Structure 1
């Protein structure tokens, strides 16, 4: 007798544990990056000294904190769902991880070559933009977080497909029943031999079978 759990496999908790750590790291990276200074805009109005305006990550990409919260929710979701629902969560995490890397690329590649930073904050109209300087450190931190999220999504997908236990589980009662059948079959074989002496190998096998029977509570000498 067996209990088939093929239709509802248990996710691999070890993979999910690693994925959880990666998601926490990704959420922390995105949140930290959103609080860092991404750029400085130098503006002058011709009436006073030039003024420096700071552009934070939350100004550059306001949705970074929302994605960080999504990663945090993914840690809980992957332990609450399984099967196809867990795969959907993994896909959402992967897509969010890839999209979160886009602002990092724009910052590192051409953040200082355009006036995008100046449009992300409120600068009085009288100021003329003189220069824009960027800090690439938040961008690399964001890329690291995005990579952690994508790897976590892959592990979640593998964890959803892996078996937490064998698809066939034999209960103790079923194992005892199977052992009883072996004992009775061996007894019938000996009776059919009409008193013939067993070979040494067969004797060892019989002795081992008797010990297994005793361990399972089966009397190997009974009728």
Structure 2
């Protein structure tokens, strides 16, 4: 690899790391938002058993959607995973994060759109069958918190993909100028070996000659 190649690779790697750093911030924010929403009160169930005054039962996010915490932990694991893997595995991490972001948004939407008078709230807390549900009061704020977390996770997945693309470019891309410089180095290295009487591989020399001609170099011409 030439100096130009090294500079390009270092720059691409730096860009990839920066994007992964931004993705980490969004993943941490997403995990925190989902965890907070799991602790919030999503609904209140008002029920009575016919023996006394109606009672109220709180429904928290962990009751309404038990896997909110699990998804939050997945986002935290994504922070570590994106720095631990490369290549196609990094694209797989981004895909998993994107799918988790999509899945996590549904509880928030269901709370905002269908939370009021939804008997699912009573089932979520395993309300004793002796109670007769009179009303279900829903609180929309936790739903918006979940949606915000899902958006953060989706943005993070995009930055993970862009980081993966930058890393791929650093390992695969070689500029024409860098390629020409590398061929010049190889041509004159082979000429010096021949001048010292050292043996060279004919197949390698032939391939080097054709590569040189394709790039506008004459391997038989002496360099001043």
Q: TM-score, normalised by structure 1?
A: 0.71
Q: How many residues align?
A: 176
For the residues of structure 2 that align with 1:110 and 1:126, how far apart are their CA atoms?
A: 25
Q: Is the 8 A contact 2:59 2:124 kept in 1?
A: yes
* Kept in 2: contact 1:2–1:168 (CA 8 A): no
Structure 2 residue runs without a partner (length 5+)? 189-223
Q: Secondary structure at the match of 2:50?
A: coil
* Residue 150 of structure 1: aligned partner: 154
Deviation above 6 Å: which 4+ runs of structure 1? 3-6
Structure 1 gap ranges (5+)? 182-222
CA RMSD of aligned residues (A): 2.9
Query: Which runs of structure 2 are paired with 1:72-111 in the superposition (5 Å)?
Result: 72-111=76-115
TM-score w.r.t. structure 2 length? Answer: 0.71
| Aligned-partner SS, 1:119 | helix
Counterparts of 2:116 and 2:84, CA distance in 1: 44
CA contact (8 A) 1:15 1:159 kept: yes
Larger radius of gyration: 1
State the alpha-carbon separation in 2 of the partners of residues 142 and 128 from structure 1.
30
1:17 corresponds to which residue? 21
- 2:134 matched residue in structure 1: 130
Contact 1:100 1:142 in 2 (8 A): yes
